[in-house]
Structure formats: C-alpha cells, structure tokens
Amino acid sequence: MIIKKYIIPLFLIFSGSSVAGQETPVEEEPIEPVMEMTYLKDTEGNINLRSSMVNYVNRQPVPLPGLEIIFYAGEDSLVSLGSVTTDKEGWAILVLDEGLDLPVGLDGSVRYFAEYQGTDNILSAEYEVYVTDVNLDMELTLLDSVKTISLRAYSLVEGEEVPVADEDIYVYVKRMFSDLPLGEDFLDENGEFMTEIPDDIPGDAQGYIEIIGRFNDHYLFGTVENRQTIQWGMPTKHEIPVSQRTLWTQIAPLWMVITLSILLAGVWGHYIFVIIQLFRLRRIARKEESATLV
Amino acid sequence: MNDIAQQDKLLAKFKPFLETTSTRWYLILLVLILIFAWGISGLVTQITGGHIVTGMRDNVVWGVYIVNFIFFMGLSYAGALVSGVLHLFNSEWRKPIIRMAELVTVISLMIGPFFIFLCIGRLDRLHYLFIHPRIQSPISWDVIGITTDLIGCFIYLYLSFIEDFAILRDQKSINLPKWRQKVYKFLALGYTGTPKQKKIIHKSRTLMSAMIIAIAIIVYSVLAWIFGVTLQPGWDSTIFGPYFVIAAIFSGSGLMIILMWIFRRIYHLEEFITKKHFVNMGVLLLVVAAFYGYFTFCDYLTKWYGSVKINAELIDKLFTEFNWMFIFANYFGIIIPIVIVGIPHLRTIRNITIAAVIAVVALWVNRYIIVIPTLETPFLPIQESRADWLSYSPTWVEWSLTAGGVAIFIILFKLASKFLPIISLSEMSGVDHRELKILE
C-alpha cells in the first residue's frame, strides 16, 4: 500500500526527471585535427621538428595523443625522415640524424613536411615549413669588466661562411617560467651583434645564469638558438619565511593552541567526571548489596 | 496512570519484539545485508582498482562520499541537539521520541566518518594525521572534534540506557535468553533506582546533554569551516558555520519524523507517539526550514550581487546544469515543509511525514550542489585539463557504497531497537526534576 501510494510516484518523478535529462545519441562526426610544425636548431646543431596535433572543442585545444606523424624532406622526391607517435600533450618530436643529406631547393631552403594519414575517426592532416640552414655562434666575454655577449650568424654556401646580415636576433636569460629578454637588434653586415648584460640579474645559489641567443621563429631560419651557462648572475639565497598557515610548518598560532587546549580540557574533563560517576554508581550498588546481606 | 503501570504497559507492548523475531524481520535484514554486501563489493573494487573506478578526478576530488559524510554527520548533530535540548528543557512530550534521537546521533556518527576514508587515496598514511598533527589545519580540528563527539555521544547514550538495562534485568514477564540477561545485568552497573543513584544519573545526563549540544554546534561548524576557509567559489563564506548547523537540524528533524512514523507503525505505538509529537516535530521542522531558507537566500544573494566572475560562473552552472537539483533542494525542499506544517488543515501525520521525506532528500541534494558544482568551477584550469576531468558523475562504486551506508544505518537501528525498546522505559515512567529536588 505504502509502496503504491508513495514510493512508486516518487520513483517515477525521479526516474522521469533523469530520463528527461538524457539526450538521444547522435552519430559522432570524425575529428578534424589541426596540425602545426616548428623547426628548432639547438646549440649542438641538432635539428628538432616539433609537430602538434590538437582538436578544437569549444575553441579550446584538446591534445590528440597516440597518432603516428610521418616526417619528410624535399619537394618532388620526398626523403623520409622517420615517424613519431604523438604523446599525451599531442606532440610528436623528431630529432634528425646528424649528417643527413637533405634535398636543398634553388633558394637554399629545405622543405620539411609532416603528415598524419588519418583514420575513420580522425581526418588526415599535413603541414610544411621551408627553412634555410644557418649557424649561430655565441661568445661571452668580459670587455673592460663589462659582461658582453657577441653573436655571429652565418650560412654555409659551398663550404664558405656567408654572414647573415640585417636579420632580427634576440638575447634572453632563462628564468623559471619563461625567458627574460635582454636585447633585440638587427645583425650588422658581418652577421654580428653585441650587447651588454646587467650585473644584477639573479642567478642560482652560485650565481649561474643561462644565456640564450636566438632567431625566434624566424620566417627564413625557423628557431635557431645557442645557450650557454655562465657565472654572471647574483647568487640567490632561498630563505623560506616562517608562516603559520603554510602546509609544512609545525608552528600553530598561540591563540589557536590556547583556545583548543581550553576547549578540549573542558570537554574531556567533563567526560572524565561523568565516567567517574559511572564507577560511583557501581560502587554504591555493591555497598547497598553488602548492607542488605548483613 | 502510575509509573509502574506505564512501564508494564510498555513492556507488554514490546514483549513480542524482544522475545521473538519474526520472519519478516529476518527478511528485511537479509535485504539490507545484501545491499550492504553490494557496498562491500564496491569497496573491494575501489581498493583493488584504485580511485579511478570512482567519478572523482583531479578537479572534482570530492564526490558523493563527502556529500554522504556531511549528510550523516548532520543527522548525528541534529539528533544530539534535539535529544540534548529536549532533555535539558525537560519537555514532557520528548519521552517517547528521545531514544530515537539518541540512536540517530550515535549511529550516524559511526557511519559518517567512513565516507571520509573512502575519499582518501592513501589510507596507509591515515595515521600521519595523528602522529604529525597540525592543529592549524581544519582537517585536524575535524578529526579531534569527531573523535571527541563520538565518545561524548556514546557516554550520553549509555547514561540514558542504564535505567532501561536495570528494568530489563529485573523484569520477570519477558522470557529473554540467559546471555541477554547477563548483558543487561553487566551494563546496568548494579543500578537499583536508589535516590543516590537516580541523582547521579540525572546529574550526569544533564551535564552530558549540555555538553553534546555545545560539541555538536562546534564540530559541525568545524566541518563547515573545512569548506568556509577554503578559497573556492561558493565555499569561502562567513555564514557557512551557522548555515551548516541549521541545515543539520533541518535534516535531523526530518529524519526523526520519518523514524517516528516507521516505529509507530511497526510497533503500533499510536498510544505513545501521537499526532502531538508529529505536530511538535513538524513545527520544529517548519521553523528550521524558514531559517534554512533564509540562510540559503543570504548566501546566494551576496554571491550573486558581488558579481565576482567565478561566482557568476558558479551560479550560472547552478541554474543551468544543476537546475533541477537546485530547484528541488532550495525551493521544493524548503517551501513544501513550510506549507504542509504551516497550514493547520494539511497538518496530518501522513503529510508531515511526506514533508519530512522531502526535507531529508532535499538536504542531501543541497549538499551535492554545495560540493560538486564548486569543484567543477576551479579558479584556474589545472595543467592538463581534459573535458572529462571537469565534470563529475558518480559511478556504480560510489552509489553502492552510498546504499551500503544507508543499509548499515538501518541495520544498526534495527539491531538497537531489538536489543532495547525504542521508547525509553525509564523516561516514560521516570521521575522529573521536581521529584529529584525532593529526593535531595
């Protein structure tokens, strides 16, 4: 009776509202991925091709892990460079083998090409970049006690060093979250640039800082950088100030210790008093029992 | 009717239930045990598979478990407040229902903290809370508070049982097994009802009832501060302490009415638990519902008016994704009990019980919409933010353990009411304050 009168209607109300909230499944359309690729030449001269695969959901990029990206070089006849599977961030990074003979175009650039061949669920995607190979040398010297950075950029044409002139170059110092710009200018006719470093840049505990000279996502050269670590910074001491609210501190505010102690002492004092009363109850009973026997 | 006659009448009423156990009783117990076993299977799945089997992820780190924890703790504190206040003020009508309130207090308090253990990823490090306590952490306050409260409530419950243990030990009309008689004898502590003993019991109970009222308010405020002192949208609120306490009394009064209705029907206690009891508890429910509605309105109004971007996002989420839950918890859950109890014509036992059921379910839903939408609206996206990490939906493991918690609550209540009459024999036939004064 109760079930019929109350429980079934209530159940119907709740189940009805939950069913109403469900939507009819719609056949999912294949993902249309967005591919990008960047070129990076590091201090040791290694070439890194970094390709990313994402899917935009509500204008937010969602990484696509586990996709095989195939890298090539060349225009008409493609040279396979290798394949890499995207990681959980959606990145596939290929480090080119040293001494690889890459097909150079008439303008001296190399065409790098990345391709994802696609599946039923994810559509195919491709991306290409044209990069002219340059070298970037960096020298850190003290000129009349002034900390000076000298950069020189050149390309190799038939074994000859040809300076890279009038191109934008940057100097940074590495910080914890991003690189701090120290200078930016155009290279002179010899492909050179010189700048000073301030004396008051905080370094690590020993004063080491990492200086970076870089073509920053350059339209011809991609990203080419040279990093060097040198003891030119100010040594920093990491002193953690005492704070009573940090997770790791053992020090509680005095008012809190006192309040809590008073509260606990008060409450537990009463508990003990009542427990003693319970023992008294038993003692009284025993006394009365023995008195009755006597 | 004199005390002994009243006592004998009650004993006669409970005699069949204390002496024998019906097949129906066993069947209900079996169903409850099966539900509890389902909960255990969920627990085993969670222990072997890890928390990945739940709906909790990096953003929503608290789910249904914490909702159940707050809910059960709320029931417990409400039981403590109701029984403590009724005892302190020596309300005559309290007598048939005070034991239910006491049992709600202790049983909920035994179950609630288990849901916290289910949230913890590394249970093997649980003892660190005790060996490396940081008293500036609200979590430590909660551990200290709940432990203190649990012990206090046990003492209070035991004090209220002693006289009944003695009555059951001394009675001759009920045929009880020997082991039970021995247990009653041991637990009665030799109580014979001498003026000295009565005075001790009365003094201790009065003291403990005052204590548990204070502790219930403090400990439930501490529980609220775990949210209130956390810089999260929707939680960082100064009124969370009193708001939680009021909400606890609201759900606890509702549960009391439901229990009164159930036990009245099972044991045919129409003579003892009358409409007056339902109306009195209903009026309490009405008053608390009004306060609870007022607090809810204040809380959301100030958040909405402040126009802080993250609070606006949270409120928007409450009125879209959690729309039906919000309306049920904060409109129906408050208005229906007020209307039912407020209009004398509607004030029947059945209607008051329906209002109580709505109040209790609404309170659970209210806890859900306090916890989940906030965690789904973080100030900053976490480093690797995936769409499925930002929204929470409980898995069967969480539902099984929730059902298991409810099942064990009912099992413990059944067992307790099997061991002792659900209406206190000593309260029904007991002396009042005036008599004690004369005895002194």
B182 contacts chain A (CB < 8 A):
no
State which of A104-108, B380-384, B393-397 shows the largest mean pLDDT. Answer: B393-397
CATH number of the domain residue A201 falls in: 2.60.40.1940
Q: At what angle do helices B240-267 and B349-375 cross, to 10 degrees?
A: 140
Instruction: With cut-offs at 50, 70 and 90, classify the pLDDT of residue A272.
Output: very high
Report DSSP letters for B238-279, one per residue.
TTHHHHHHHHHHHHHHHHHHHHHHHHHHHHT-TTTS-HHHHH
Q: Inform me whether the pLDDT recorded for B422 exceeds 50.
A: yes
Residue A193 distance to chain B (closest CA, Å): 38
B324 contacts chain A (CB < 8 A):
yes
Do A105 and A39 belong together in one domain?
yes
Chain B residue numbers with beta carbons less than 8 Å from the beta carbon of A275 are: 155
Note whether residue A216 is domain-resident. Answer: yes
Write the residue in B136, B152, B197 that is nearest to A271 by C-beta.
B152
A181-216 pLDDT, tens per residue?
Answer: 998 999 999 999 999 999 899 999 999 999 999 999
B53-101 pLDDT, tens per residue?
Answer: 998 888 888 899 999 998 888 888 888 888 888 888 777 777 788 888 8
B159 contacts chain A (CB < 8 A):
yes
Do A122 and A85 belong together in one domain?
yes
pLDDT of residue A25: 55
What does the DSSP 8-state code read for residue A193? E
How crowded is residue B267: how many other Cβ atoms within 10 Å of its Cβ?
A: 18
Which of A19, A267, A273, A288 to mutate to probe the B interface, most B CBs <10 Å? A267
Write the residue in B134, B144, B200 that is nearest to A280 by C-beta.
B200
Do A125 and A42 belong together in one domain?
yes
Q: Which residues of B303-335 are buried (b: 16+ CB within 10 A; e: fewer)?
A: beeeeeebbeebbebbeebbeebbebbbebbbe
What does the block give as tokens for A273? Answer: 């008093």
Inter-chain CB proximity B136 and A256 less than 8 Å: yes
* Cα–Cα distance for residue pair B70/B135, rounded to 1 Å: 21
**Which one of A116, A132, A148 terminates a domain?**
A132
- The percent of residues above 90 in pLDDT, for chain B, comes to 31
* Cα–Cα distance for residue pair A84/A91, rounded to 1 Å: 9
Chain B residue numbers with beta carbons less than 8 Å from the beta carbon of A284 are: 190, 194, 196-197, 200
CB neighbour list of residue B18: distance below 8 Å, 6 or more residues apart: B168, B174, B176, B418, B421
**C-beta of residue B6 within 8 angstroms of C-beta of residue B427:** no
CATH number of the domain residue A123 falls in: 2.60.40.730
Q: Strands A34-41 and A222-230, how do they pair?
A: parallel
pLDDT of residue A10: 53
Strands (DSSP E) contained in B53-166 are none
The whole model's pTM is what?
0.68
**C-beta of residue A233 within 8 angstroms of C-beta of residue A162:** no
Amino acid at B167: I
B307-336 pLDDT, tens per residue?
Answer: 888 888 899 999 998 999 999 999 999 999
Integer-rounded Cα Rg, in Å, for chain A is: 36
What does the DSSP 8-state code read for residue A234? B
B196 contacts chain A (CB < 8 A):
yes
What does the block give as tokens for A123? Answer: 């559509």
Instruction: With cut-offs at 50, 70 and 90, classify the pLDDT of residue A4.
Output: low
Residue of chain A nearest B321, judged by CA positions? A21
* Cα–Cα distance for residue pair A244/A151, rounded to 1 Å: 49
Chain B residue numbers with beta carbons less than 8 Å from the beta carbon of A263 are: 218
pLDDT of residue A9: 54
* Cα–Cα distance for residue pair B37/B30, rounded to 1 Å: 10
Note whether residue A80 is domain-resident. Answer: yes
pLDDT of residue B384: 62
What does the DSSP 8-state code read for residue A246? S
Residue of chain A nearest B134, judged by CA positions? A250
Inter-chain CB proximity A286 and B204 less than 8 Å: no
Beta bridge partners of B188: none
Do A45 and A121 belong together in one domain?
yes
What does the block give as tokens for A199? Answer: 């004396």
Do A190 and A119 belong together in one domain?
no
**Which one of A197, A230, A263 terminates a domain?**
A230
Using a 10 angstrom Cβ sphere, with 0-12 exposed, 13-18 middle and 19 or more buried, the burial of residue B133 is middle
B231 contacts chain A (CB < 8 A):
no
Inter-chain CB proximity A245 and B151 less than 8 Å: no
Inter-chain CB proximity B208 and A250 less than 8 Å: no
pLDDT of residue A26: 58
Nearest to B33 by CA among B426, B404, B425: B404
Do A142 and A127 belong together in one domain?
no
Do A128 and A38 belong together in one domain?
yes
Write the residue in B196, B207, B354 that is nearest to A284 by C-beta.
B196
Residue A53 distance to chain B (closest CA, Å): 15
What does the block give as tokens for B178? Answer: 């020997």
Mean pLDDT value of segment A229-256: 79
* Cα–Cα distance for residue pair A147/A195, rounded to 1 Å: 9
Note whether residue A279 is domain-resident. Answer: no
Inter-chain CB proximity B191 and A285 less than 8 Å: yes
Domain encompassing residue A179? 135-230
pLDDT of residue B388: 66
Place of tokens 């309260």: B427
pLDDT of residue A265: 92
Write the residue in B204, B354, B386 that is nearest to A274 by C-beta.
B204
B215 contacts chain A (CB < 8 A):
yes
Mean pLDDT value of segment B232-239: 87
Provide the CB-side half-sphere exposure for B266 (13 A, CA): 20
Note whether residue A18 is domain-resident. Answer: no
Chain A residue numbers with beta carbons less than 8 Å from the beta carbon of B387 are: 57, 62
Inter-chain CB proximity A274 and B155 less than 8 Å: yes
* Cα–Cα distance for residue pair B94/B423, rounded to 1 Å: 10
Note whether residue A10 is domain-resident. Answer: no
Inter-chain CB proximity B148 and A282 less than 8 Å: no
Q: Inform me whether the pLDDT recorded for B421 exceeds 50.
A: yes
Q: Inform me whether the pLDDT recorded for B4 exceeds 70.
A: no
* Cα–Cα distance for residue pair B67/B195, rounded to 1 Å: 47
A15-65 pLDDT, tens per residue?
Answer: 444 444 444 555 678 899 999 999 999 999 899 999 999 999 878 889 999
Which of A1, A261, A271 to mutate to probe the B interface, most B CBs <10 Å? A271
Write the residue in A17, A253, A278 that is nearest to B324 by C-beta.
A17
Do A63 and A112 belong together in one domain?
yes
Note whether residue A141 is domain-resident. Answer: yes
pLDDT of residue B195: 85
Residue A286 distance to chain B (closest CA, Å): 7
Instruction: With cut-offs at 50, 70 and 90, classify the pLDDT of residue B434.
Output: very low
**C-beta of residue B249 within 8 angstroms of C-beta of residue B82:** yes
Please state the length of chain A: 294
Backbone φ and ψ of A210, nearest 5°: -105, 120
pLDDT of residue B331: 92
What does the block give as tokens for A22? Answer: 């469900």
Nearest to B304 by CA among B355, B237, B218: B237
* Cα–Cα distance for residue pair A26/B405, rounded to 1 Å: 37
Note whether residue A247 is domain-resident. Answer: no
The residue among A242 and A270 whose pLDDT is bigger is A270
Place of tokens 């309170």: B363
Nearest to A208 by CA among A187, A184, A185, A233: A233
Mean per-residue pLDDT over chain A, rounded: 86
Backbone φ and ψ of A126, nearest 5°: -150, 160
Angle, alpha carbons A80-A86-A89 (nearest 5°): 145
Residue B186, helix vs strand vs coil: helix
**C-beta of residue A12 within 8 angstroms of C-beta of residue A35:** no
Report DSSP letters for B105-138, one per residue.
HHHHHHHHHHHHHHH-S-GGGTTHHHHS--TTSH
pLDDT of residue A170: 95
For every residue of A166-185, which 3-state class applies, written as one string? CCEEEEEEECCCCEEEEEEE
Chain B residue numbers with beta carbons less than 8 Å from the beta carbon of A280 are: 200
Write the residue in A62, A252, A271 that is nearest to B387 by C-beta.
A62
**Which one of A110, A132, A154 terminates a domain?**
A132
pLDDT of residue A294: 63
Chain A residue numbers with beta carbons less than 8 Å from the beta carbon of B151 are: 271
Note whether residue A158 is domain-resident. Answer: yes
What does the block give as tokens for B425? Answer: 């024999």
Instruction: With cut-offs at 50, 70 and 90, classify the pLDDT of residue A288.
Output: confident
Residue A61 distance to chain B (closest CA, Å): 10
Chain A residue numbers with beta carbons less than 8 Å from the beta carbon of B152 are: 267, 271
What does the block give as tokens for B419? Answer: 């061991």
**C-beta of residue A247 within 8 angstroms of C-beta of residue A168:** no
Chain B residue numbers with beta carbons less than 8 Å from the beta carbon of A89 are: 384
Inter-chain CB proximity A263 and B200 less than 8 Å: no
Residue of chain B nearest A268, judged by CA positions? B148
CB neighbour list of residue A20: distance below 8 Å, 6 or more residues apart: none
Mean per-residue pLDDT over chain B, rounded: 86
Do A114 and A141 belong together in one domain?
no
pLDDT of residue A16: 46
Residue of chain B nearest A10, judged by CA positions? B358
Number of domains in chain A: 2
Place of tokens 């739940």: B54
* Cα–Cα distance for residue pair A69/A83, rounded to 1 Å: 5
Instruction: With cut-offs at 50, 70 and 90, classify the pLDDT of residue A172.
Output: very high
Residue B264 distance to chain A (closest CA, Å): 14
* Cα–Cα distance for residue pair A166/A187, rounded to 1 Å: 5
A208-226 pLDDT, tens per residue?
Answer: 999 999 999 999 999 999 9
Inter-chain CB proximity B200 and A271 less than 8 Å: no
Inter-chain CB proximity A252 and B134 less than 8 Å: yes
Write the residue in B158, B159, B190 that is nearest to A285 by C-beta.
B190
Inter-chain CB proximity B191 and A273 less than 8 Å: no
* Cα–Cα distance for residue pair A225/A43, rounded to 1 Å: 6
User: How many contacts (CB atoms, under 8 Å) link A and B?
Assistant: 79
Angle, alpha carbons B52-B56-B57 (nearest 5°): 80
Place of tokens 């009349």: A144
Instruction: With cut-offs at 50, 70 and 90, classify the pLDDT of residue B9.
Output: confident
* Cα–Cα distance for residue pair A69/A50, rounded to 1 Å: 10
What does the block give as tokens for B321? Answer: 């994704």
